[in-house]
Amino acid sequence: MKEFLKFTFASFIGIAIFATINLLIGIMVIGSILAADSTVPPVPENSVLALNLSGNVVERNNEQDLPIMKYLGTEMDYQGLDMLTEAISKAKDNSQVKGMYVELGPVSFDSPATMIALRRALNDFKKSGKWIVAYGDVVTQGAYYVASAADKLYLNTTGQIEFKGLGRQTTYLKGLYDKIGVKYQTVKVGKYKSFVESNTRTNMSDEDREQRLAYMNGIWNIMTDDIAQSRHIEAARLKQYANDSILMFAQQKDYLQMKLIDGLLYPEEVKAEVQKRLGLDKDDDIMQISARNMALAEQPKKKDKGDEVAVYYAIGDINDMDLSNLTGETGIVGKTMAADLRELADDDDVKAVVIRVNSGGGSAVASEQIHHAVELLKKKKPVVVSMGGAAASGGYMISCGASHIIAEPATITGSIGIFGMIPNISSLMTDKLGITYDEVSTSKYTNAVERLVTAKNNEQELKFLQNSVDWGYDRFISMVAQGRQLTKERVHEIAQGRVWLGKDAVKLGLVDQLGSLDDAVKKAAELAKLDDYHPQAYPELENWTDRLMKQLSDNNNYLESAMRELWGSHYHDWVMLRTASKRNRLQAALPFSIVVE
């Protein structure tokens, strides 16, 4: 027995020592990876900015951006517009960088405005006299739009281009609900407030079709006009290509005849083209710097000096509470953003604030909380709103009180309206399953919410809900009228849930001017009378340790990634169903989103 215990103890000690050694080795490996990640290589002489246009391009990447995630298998394929545009701006001003190489892969943009802003950055890069060469195998429509700004656009000899116009199919669930005995009760203000229609109709209403066609045609016109100018093709001809589906069946030589590309090349031929532009021999290596490293590169710039202009990113759905554990997306939490704005108001180092809004709205209560915080902030320092892909419904509510509003031409904004939506399951539970309900209460309407869900006769409760929505809408248009110096009657004319593009919103007085985030920063500095200033982004991103622990412990990311793949364009519909019980019953939300691929 003694020998057995000795052997067991020795084995235990051996295993413990082995595990400790492996742990130490693991820590050393992770440390070396992190150390390598934290070291940004200098910009090579006679180099090229290598822009890999693939994956998902979003307003701001809040996910991890560490090479270690590749080793852990948890890397998320996202690129932030803020990082890409900063890299392009630095490369433009850096004498070591001679040009840009854009490699086109499967890419989607979270909004047309994001796509247009990236293309604008490429055009700005060219103003320095530097060149851009783009190349791809299978080029999606969004990628082609951005790359059409290049000096030369090449396609693989067996490559393809997608160019089909804009569209979105919407799912209507009323037929399903009728079969199972569920009826969605909705109350709303605004004939264009179509968010509820997917649960209450079997097809698109005339009003919703009208507004969707208006903004899609507006965005399509911007895209075709920009491509036409860069590629020297008539915009009408481009639209005809898409309308006739010519490109779906085109051969590679047809792309040349249509002037959509400058040549059909193999990869080594594209390399030779870049080498020639750099004055290199064919055996010489091309010195490349990635967009990420370019953005992190130390470079003396004016933005590092002077007074601070805070740039606060308000991205995603507006919620009363943090729903990231359900949706996998952080979004905007009303009380959190309001608290952040109060801190910026009290920070004497911050002389002006730019709020970059990219949100289709959400909770009306949370949106009003933020609106109030913006008004308080404006009393202390200038507040400029820069609208990204969307600043609609609740997203417009949090914007309308700013000192000045700047929108992208393709920003989806407006959608000034309120709705409430509650499912009634009485037919399912009582008629089909035989479940009945009875109640006791001290007051007549104690169980009003329960009756909305389970009772067949609840007309009075619905009237109460409609009164809440009417009050919310009147409050909303009052905020807009005060913030935009319009009459309530005029706001009502252009509101009613109607969606507008940024370029149209200027004419209506909902927006002050068109422009970029940089324009908004300049305007904020002008209003604050600053001669020397620099932007500072808020909220601060998580540090690497927080992000690492989150990735190691949060399996929800795998689920969300899988669900995105499975549901595709219907992913957001699934998220709405998943979080319905957690959302405020009064919503100021955009009924749709546009993802450009």
How sure is the predictor about 557, in pLDDT bands with cuts at 50, 70 and 90? very low
pLDDT at position 586, please? 52
**223 has pLDDT over 90:** yes
| Rounded alpha-carbon distances, angstroms, from residue 155 to 72, 133, 161, 217, 266 | 34, 11, 9, 28, 8
pLDDT at 378 over 50: yes
| Average pLDDT value for residue range 576-580 | 50
Give kind and range of the element (H or E) at residue 591.
none
Residue 108 has pLDDT above 80, yes or no: yes
Q: What is the pLDDT, as a whole number, of residue 566? A: 45
Give the pTM. 0.83
Nearest to 392 by CA among 373, 374, 407: 407
pLDDT exceeds 80 at position 102: yes
- Pick the residue with more confidence: 171 or 578? 171
Residue 393 is a catalytic residue? yes
CB-based contact 472:364 (threshold 8 Å): yes
Instruction: Name every residue whose Cβ is closer than 8 Å to that of residue 139 and which is 6 or more positions away in sequence.
Output: 104, 147, 155, 159, 160, 161, 162
Instruction: For residues 105-110, give the mean pLDDT.
Output: 92
Q: How far apart are the C-alpha atoms of 575 and 569, rounded to whole Å? A: 12
Could you read off the pLDDT of 135-144 as tens digits, one per residue? 999 999 999 9
State the chain's mean pLDDT as an integer: 85
**DSSP line for 468-523:** HHHHHHHHHHHHHHHHHT--HHHHHHH-TT-EEEHHHHHHHTS-SEE--HHHHHHH
Task: Collapse the DSSP code of 425 into the 3-class scheme (helix H, G, I; strand E, B; otherwise coil) and give the result.
Answer: coil
Catalytic residue among 98, 152, 193, 351: 193
pLDDT (0 to 100) of residue 565? 46
pLDDT by residue (tens digit) across 458-510? 999 999 989 988 999 999 999 999 999 999 999 999 999 999 999 999 999 99
Q: What is the DSSP code string of 359-381?
A: E-EEEHHHHHHHHHHHHHHHTTS
Q: CB within 8 A of 230, min separation 6: which ones? A: 148, 149
**Phi, psi for 390 (deg, rounded to 5):** -150, 140
Poorest-confidence range of 30-39, 115-124, 201-210, 539-548? 30-39
Which one of 393, 403, 415, 516 is the catalytic residue? 393
Q: What is the pLDDT of residue 301?
A: 47
Percent of the chain with pLDDT over 70: 78
Decide if pLDDT at 532 tops 50: yes
Query: Any catalytic annotation for residue 193?
Result: yes
